[in-house]
Amino acid sequence: MIAVENLHFAYDNEPVLRGIDLEVKRGEILAILGPNGCGKSTLLRLLRGVLTPAEGRVLWQGRDAVRLGRKAMARLAAVVPQSMQAPFPYPVREMVAMGRYAHQSGFLGSTSADRKAVEKALAVTDILHLGKRPVTDLSGGELQRVLLARALAQETPVLLLDEATSHLDLDHRLEIAELLVRLNREQGTTVVQVSHDLDLAAETSHRILLLAADGTPTALGSPTEVFTPSNLRQVFRVEVKVESNPYTGAPRAYPVRRGNAWQQKPPRIHLFCGGGSGGELLRRLHLAGGEITVGPLNRGDYDQVLASVFELETALEEPFCPISAATLQTARGLCRQAEALVVAPTVWGPGNLASLELAREALSRRIPVLLVDPSAERDYTGGRAWEMLQAIHAAGGRVVPDTEAVLDLLKDKPWESNDR
């Protein structure tokens, strides 16, 4: 019904979604899950044709979404937004009646079919008694049910929900979930829902699209196929245990409490980063209790600012200046005091190649070096940085995929087996 082909999108040249290929099947419930900022709500707007893809396209029964008119799209899909502020004190019934826009000619006004659809939508969302109340007087949960009722009154074959149950209490959240399942089963309504409620999504969805933090698809399939400890850990960066709900058989995810990564004296770690590449590493290592040093970094660099907030010892250079011999010597001293070195997934240029030299020197002294997701695509030195990274790897540097893997390895204290 809806085909998404090689979809890419960016805000101000900052990529948000990358390489989404997806077919939303007629009559299915599809949930879109992922961490904050991964592009879930953006994907819904692209499905509606409100945004234009940077690459790829969205097709509704073969028609490009961005070329469909507003009224044509309103006949195909109704939207329940994440939240909204009511700008005017419309009575609830009038707000819900706005969902009939796509079915009205503009000259004839509302019909008996319109009024019947509105009354039914008010009833199934449990707001019939609020019909005359101004929407500006409602609680957040009540207003959310009004928005859902407006979408139901629209009577479209597709419902697009952006965290539509996030403001509801448990009772109404379960009622709405049951209503969506019933609409899907009895009327064949196709539902695409963005959610942060993993367990409820697993209970109600036929398939789940799991997005990583950078907007790339991690998994697409049935809840059982998608809800694996590996997938959920990769996306949400927490350890989880997945079990089956004993009443429904749907998978349920239980986060495992993070303990201190190090039970005794925290290790001393030196981090090579820059341009924001070390942000997550700095935060997670700091929270885990690690003793961290950083650099060389230029003053004002995002990672330098973060290190300053955490009061971390840093080999510091002035803005827009090449790394001086004095700063390099400071960084070398910090490396000599470290029990392990971590190289963030940094963009490499002539100005920061010296960091890789320091990493190679440390490895020759049998100090463990962890290379986080090294890639030739981040090399802007004509291949020199990539050659150095490969040489470090060949000499014993450990390649790890992400921050979680760094924490796991450091917890095992790889330096204790080395002769320092």
- Helix (H) / strand (E) element for 219: namely strand 217-221
Query: Using omega within 30 degrees of 0 as the cis cutoff, is the peptide bond preceding 401 cis?
Result: no
Same topology, domains 2-255 and 268-417? Answer is yes
CATH superfamily entry for domain 2-255:
P-loop containing nucleotide triphosphate hydrolases (3.40.50.300)
The architecture in CATH of the region 268-417 reads 3-Layer(aba) Sandwich (3.40)
371 contacts 393 by C-beta, under 8 angstroms: yes
Number of Cα atoms under 13 Å in the Cβ half of residue 179: 21
Residue from 86, 34, 307 nearest 195 by CA: 34
* Domain ranges, ordered by start, for the chain: 2-255, 268-417
Residue from 188, 194, 204, 186 nearest 165 by CA: 194
Residue from 145, 158, 164, 163 nearest 188 by CA: 158
Give the whole-angstrom CA distance, residue 184 versus residue 99. 19
Give the whole-angstrom CA distance, residue 7 versus residue 22. 9
Question: How much is the CA Rg of the chain, to the nearest whole Å?
Answer: 26
Question: Mind listing the pLDDT tens digit of every residue in the chain (420 residues)?
Answer: 899 999 999 998 889 999 999 999 999 999 999 998 899 999 999 999 999 999 999 999 889 999 988 888 988 999 888 766 667 888 989 888 888 877 766 545 578 888 888 888 888 888 888 888 998 888 877 888 888 889 888 889 999 998 877 767 777 778 778 888 888 888 889 999 998 888 889 999 999 999 998 899 999 999 999 999 889 988 887 778 888 887 788 898 887 755 444 556 667 899 999 988 888 888 888 877 778 999 899 999 889 988 998 899 999 998 888 888 999 999 999 999 998 999 999 999 988 889 999 999 998 888 999 999 999 999 999 999 999 999 999 999 999 988 878 887 777 665 554 443
Q: Give the residue ranges of DSSP H helices in 101-244.
A: 112-124, 140-153, 170-187, 198-204, 223-226, 229-236
Pairing of strands 240-244, 369-372: unpaired
